[in-house]
Amino acid sequence: MKLLRYGPVGAERPAILDAEGNMRDLSSVVPDINGDALSPESLAKIAKVDVSSLPVVQGTPRVGSAIARPGKFLCVGLNYADHARETGKEPPAEPVLFSKATTALCGPYDDVEIPRGSDRTDWEIELGIVIGSRAKYVDEADALSHVAGYALVNDVSERRFQSERGGQWIKGKSHDTFGPVGPWMVTKDEFDDIQNIDLWLDVDGDRRQTGNTKTMIFGVAHLVHYISQFMTLEAGDIIATGTPPGVGLGMKPPTFLRAGQVVTLGASGLGEQRQLMVQA
């Protein structure tokens, strides 16, 4: 199933894509695509619905973040060895964890703001894990049973804020609109192998990133297991799993985003995003 949310900011409604790619309103089944809707019981309930009986969403409404109000928006840094090296770092021995503020969340086609005072706003295409049930001290062999599905994430970053302004990375990761998620959350049953997903990102039509999740240092199951040793994961939490090489910081010379540029990105099975860069 492909679950999504549509409508104005703050007033989004839940929807599901039918076999023809039409958006069908899901409000009669669940109030939103959030933690409660992502439980195994709720997903089973949605799966039993005759999608053709649901009303078709008319027109071309805004598409919001695929997930509403996650309790946590976690990220994994340096999770592709070639990306770690392009940033001048060695591949980590354990997953590098940090957070994005949940206020960074936005829709996949929303404008992305370049923060005031920024001169190093960068792009990062990532596979996002969406948690479906509470995970605390889970074994790696059982980790995927706690996953509801997956979504495309652009982990937009301001590199100077991240690395040169003191403290932790969260300052460079959390500006409003720095977390486009979607267009859909795709339930895990639609993937034969989540560790074989192609990823790509373009800036103004020029290919900047090409990768595949098979080259992740730490795979999806290990990440869910690992993170659950340090904190409890709840339904609706999002984990962005790291980016392949090709970010602006790694270019020679480093190249960053400017207002007016357009970033497009996509992943096999997860759809595509498009963002116009604007000045905050």
- What tens digit of pLDDT does each residue of 205-257 get? 999 999 999 999 999 999 999 999 999 999 999 999 999 999 999 999 999 99
Q: Do 45 and 87 lie in a common domain?
A: no
Q: How many CA atoms lie within 13 A of 111 on its CB side?
A: 11
Which are the contacts of 88, defined by CB distance < 8 A and separation ≥ 6?
Answer: none
pLDDT (tens digit per residue) in 34-64: 999 999 999 999 999 999 999 999 999 999 9
Same domain for 138 and 35? no
Identity of residue 23: M
| pLDDT tens by residue, 69-87 | 999 999 999 899 877 787 7
Whether residues 258 and 186 share a domain: the answer is yes
For residue range 139-156, what is the model confidence (pLDDT) as tens digits?
999 999 999 999 999 999
pLDDT, tens only, 7-24: 999 999 999 999 999 999
Tell me which residue of 145, 119, 141 sits closest to 131, measured CA to CA: 145
120 in the same domain as 159: yes
Buried b (16+ CB within 10 A) or exposed e, 10-30: eebbbbbbeeeeebbbbeebb
Residue type at position 46: I
Distance, C-alpha 94 to centroid of its chain:
21
CA torsion, ordered 156, 162, 168, 171, to nearest 10 deg: -60
Per-residue buried b or exposed e for 58-88, using 16+ beta carbons within 10 Å of the residue's own CB: eeeeebbbbbbebebbbbbbbbbbebbebee
Considering the domain architecture, whether residues 185 and 81 belong to the same structural domain is answered as yes
Cα–Cα distance between 17 and 92 in angstroms, integer? 39
For residues 89 and 182, membership in a common domain is answered with: yes
The amino acid occupying position 234 is: E
**Quick one: 10 and 115 in the same domain?**
no
End-to-end CA distance of the chain: 36
pLDDT > 70: what percent of the chain? 100
Q: Identify the DSSP state of 44.
A: H
Summarize the confidence of residues 183-193 as an average pLDDT: 97
Query: Is residue 91 within 8 Å of residue 62, measured between CB atoms?
Result: no
Count of domains for the chain: 2
Q: Is residue 63 part of a domain?
A: no
Q: Identify any residues that bridge with 25 across adjacent strands, giving them in sequence order.
A: 15
48 shares a domain with 184: no
Which residue segment(s) compose the domain that 18 sits in?
2-53
Question: Per-residue b/e over 89-112, b at no fewer than 16 CB within 10 Å?
Answer: eeeeeebbbbebebebbbbbbbeb
With respect to residue 68, please indicate whether it lies within any of the assigned structural domains.
no
pLDDT of residue 124: 97
pLDDT band at 89 (very low <50, low <70, confident <90, very high): confident
pTM (two decimals): 0.97
